[in-house]
Amino acid sequence: MEKLLYITANPKGLEKSKGLKIGEAFLESFHRVRPDVSIKKVDLFSLDFPQMDADLVSARGKLAGYGYTLDQLLDIEREKITKMHDLANEFISYDYYVFVSPMWNLNSPAILKAYIDNLFIAGKTFAHTANGPKGLLMNKKAIHLQTRGGQYTGTPMEALESGDRYLKIALRFLGIEVAESVITEGFDINPLKVPEILAQGQENARLAAIDFAPTPVTA
């Protein structure tokens, strides 16, 4: 059975977040098209996962750079890198990924970058080859649903957007096919139009879900 991982990075909760409501519209539509795919939800603000701190940076360097084995690491390093590898292994077990996040200060909430940091593991999710790095997560597909307070698309602000751009670059680096993002913007500069913008975002998400996985990704 194929599996979809629904990853949200918004502390506001479904009641208050426009992005999470858009995400739910995507999921409902996806489930109608692909009832055979199981869905797991992960709220990054509730997930306990390793941060790239001194122990993890040290463990990473010893394993990748100096050929240490797990047994040769300090206990705390082994504990944290094992959690990191467990998280990456869990991620790898999915076929589809849906990321839902708001734009915060031109980027995504920092917790999303912290999560992605756990997925960059040489030899597991990407490999160094003679022709440069190569993603190892083949036959997988992702999409990002992003909400923004301002208007970036088609304006000089477009070049400043770094959250959606980084996420797509990171996922493609790992070998994942990335669909066109569903961007819903202008919420905060058009307060009277919020219901309208939200409804359009939900409709765009429903349509994107139909295109996202019409057939199994491994077919």
Ligand X SMILES: Cc1cc2nc3c(=O)[nH]c(=O)nc-3n(C[C@H](O)[C@H](O)[C@H](O)COP(=O)(O)O)c2cc1C
Which residues bind to ligand X, rule: CB under 6 A? 10, 12, 17-20, 102-106, 147-150, 187-188
Q: Measured from the CB atom, is 89 or 155 closer to ligand X?
A: 155
Smallest gap, in angstroms, from Cβ of residue 147 to ligand X? 3
Given a contact cutoff of 8 angstroms between Cβ atoms, the answer to whether 178 and 154 are in contact is no
Distance CA 151, CA 193 (A): 13
H or E segment to which residue 99 belongs: strand 96-102
Provide, rounded to whole angstroms, the least separation between the CB of residue 11 and ligand X: 9
Instruction: Judge whether 101 and 183 are in contact, CB under 8 Å.
Output: no
Residue entry with tokens 């426009």: 18
To ligand X, the closest distance from the beta carbon of 128 in angstroms equals 34
Strand 126-129 with 132-135, pairing: antiparallel
Element (H, E) at 93: none
Q: Which is nearer to ligand X, 101 or 125 (CB)?
A: 101
- The residue among 91 and 152 lying less far from ligand X, judged by its C-beta, is 152
Q: Measured from the CB of residue 159, what is the shortest distance to ligand X in angstroms?
A: 13
With respect to ligand X, which residue has the nearer C-beta, 20 or 87? 20
Q: Are 27 and 98 in contact (CB under 8 A)?
A: yes
